[in-house]
């Protein structure tokens, strides 16, 4: 996994940390949902520009598509509500691409509305990258730190 340096709004490097077991779970999800795009919500804690993933919640792809995904709005709202009641936060979104692990134009539009880290995994080249929309500069790649 490559780590890329990025500066947040306060000049602090933005990073996402995720356990090796969680990332392995996420990158193996497409085996169960083939050929559809896979998606999941990342639950955890945010401290300034550090997003710490503590749990992953696979979600159904409402589009039933190989090239796009949609998470049911009611289910997404329920996850946000339950997460907040447990003093946690939605700290990211995971989904797969059948091509390169970079945000599509559709992703970028949704990233602007939901400016949390988006982890994108390529099912073709088995590479994973992380991005965020910062509101000013647009989408940028941020560090994805995998820990034991």
Look at residue 58 and tell me if it is in a domain: yes
Whether 127 has a pLDDT exceeding 60, the answer reads yes
Q: pLDDT tens digits for 88-118?
A: 999 999 999 999 999 999 999 999 998 999 9
Look at residue 147 and tell me if it is in a domain: no
Q: Which residue has the higher pLDDT, 145 or 65?
A: 145
Does residue 2 fall inside a structural domain?
no
Task: Judge whether 133 and 4 are in contact, CB under 8 Å.
Answer: no
Say how many domains are in the chain: 1
Which pLDDT belongs to residue 72?
Answer: 93
- Percent of the residues in the chain that have a pLDDT greater than 70, as a whole number: 92
Range of the domain at 72: 16-140
Q: Is residue 10 included in any domain, yes or no?
A: no
Place of tokens 């059948």: 98
* 1 lies in some domain: no
Please say if the pLDDT value at position 34 is more than 70.
yes
What CATH number has the domain bearing residue 52? Answer: 3.40.140.10
Q: What is the pTM of this model?
A: 0.89
Neighbours of 87 (CB within 10 A): 7
pLDDT score of 2 = 40
Residue 13: pLDDT band (50, 70, 90) is: confident
Query: Residue 101: inside a domain, yes or no?
Result: yes
Burial profile 108-145: b = 16 or more Cβ within 10 angstroms, e = fewer: eebbeeeebbbbbbbbeeeebbbbbbbeeeebebbbbe
């Amino acid at each position: 996994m490559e780590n890329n340096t990025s500066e947040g709004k306060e000049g602090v490097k933005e990073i996402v940390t995720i356990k090796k077991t969680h990332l392995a779970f996420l990158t193996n999800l497409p085996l169960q949902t083939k050929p559809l795009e896979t998606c999941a919500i990342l639950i955890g804690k945010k401290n300034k520009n550090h997003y710490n993933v503590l749990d992953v919640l696979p979600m159904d792809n409402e589009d039933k598509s190989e090239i796009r995904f949609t998470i049911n709005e009611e289910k997404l709202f329920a996850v946000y509500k339950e997460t907040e009641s447990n003093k946690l936060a939605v700290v990211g979104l995971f989904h797969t691409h059948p091509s390169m692990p970079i945000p599509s134009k559709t992703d970028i539009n949704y990233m602007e509305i939901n400016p949390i880290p988006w982890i994108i995994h390529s099912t073709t080249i088995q590479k994973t990258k992380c991005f965020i929309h910062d509101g000013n500069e647009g989408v940028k790649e941020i560090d994805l730190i995998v820990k034991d």
